[in-house]
């Protein structure tokens, strides 16, 4: 007998027919069902879709490859990113580089700024915050970085940094943000939605944040090969 599609129990019995198909009933939970095969695409396809997304293919392109709808691919990637969402645990860091990069939300008239914190000691992207290019967005990021033991912050000369970072910890100048600028270029390269000269515009702030999490987890702080371990 097939497994119950609700609770997974093998204690099922035949229970008549529905629209010409054999119906079963679970003796454990009482659920009635007619489908005995798994619903949806196999895990291997979903893992491949996530991998392709992290390699720079757009949602529309991936959907055409698998002959499914774009919302289906979006759902696969969103659910995976929520499971894999991770930021490094706070610890001591001698130098953290801060920078802000622009993106578009809903239209190219509406800029979204992504503030990033890069640990020079470990080469990890330790945190990020999405919002405006203002003190409020930086303050939200700094409230979390306050849990770290950071000696110095290296930034560019954007005017809001001195409002949130003590003078004795702040070092300004482009020569001190080479690491995070390189990280910025890698992000533009590997994700279609972040490319500078692109027609792609993000519709959801949450999806921007989740894509940042994928970039940090599988491009900077880890490797893409780890994606498969979440599916098997």
Residue 35 has pLDDT above 90, yes or no: no
Is residue 194 very low, low, confident or very high in pLDDT (cuts 50, 70, 90)?
Answer: very high
Of the listed ranges 80-84, 194-198, 222-226, the one predicted with least confidence = 194-198
pLDDT score of 52 more than 70: yes
Domains present along the chain, CATH in parentheses: 1-39 (no CATH), 92-212 (3.30.420.10)
DSSP 163-184: HHS-GGGEEESGGG-HHHHHHH
CB of 156 closer than 8 Å to CB of 163: no
pLDDT of residue 37: 61
Rounded average pLDDT over 170-181: 94
Alpha-carbon distance of 93 to 117, in angstroms, equals 11
Question: What HEC string does 2-21 produce?
Answer: CCCCCCCCCCEEEEEEECCE
In this prediction, residue 20 has a pLDDT band, given cuts at 50, 70 and 90, of confident
Nearest to 35 by CA among 51, 12, 54, 56: 12
Which pLDDT score is estimated for 108?
86
> What is the pLDDT, as a whole number, of residue 210?
97
| Rounded distance between C-alpha atoms, residue 117 and residue 142, angstroms | 9
Nearest to 116 by CA among 157, 79, 144, 84: 144
């Amino acid at each position: 007998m097939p497994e119950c599609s609700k609770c997974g129990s093998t204690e099922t019995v035949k229970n008549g027919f529905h629209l010409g198909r054999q119906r079963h009933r679970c003796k454990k939970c009482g659920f009635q069902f007619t489908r005995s095969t798994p619903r949806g695409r196999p895990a291997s396809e979903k893992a491949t879709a996530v991998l392709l997304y992290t390699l720079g293919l757009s949602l529309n392109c991936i959907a055409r490859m698998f002959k499914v709808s774009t919302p289906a691919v979006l759902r696969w990637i969103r659910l995976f990113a929520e499971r894999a969402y991770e930021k490094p645990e706070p610890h001591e860091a001698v130098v953290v580089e801060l920078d802000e990069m622009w993106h578009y939300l809903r239209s190219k008239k509406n800029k979204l700024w992504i503030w990033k914190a890069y640990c020079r000691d470990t080469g990890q992207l330790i945190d990020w915050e999405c919002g405006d290019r203002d003190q409020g967005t930086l303050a939200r990021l700094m409230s979390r970085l306050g849990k770290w033991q950071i000696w110095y912050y290296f930034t560019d000369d954007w005017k809001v940094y001195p409002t949130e970072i003590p003078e004795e910890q702040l070092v300004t100048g482009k020569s001190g943000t080479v690491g995070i600028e390189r990280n910025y270029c890698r992000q533009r390269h590997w994700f279609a939605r972040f490319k500078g000269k692109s027609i792609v515009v993000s519709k959801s702030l949450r999806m921007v944040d989740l894509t940042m999490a994928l970039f940090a987890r599988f491009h900077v702080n880890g490797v893409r090969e780890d994606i498969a371990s979440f599916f098997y």
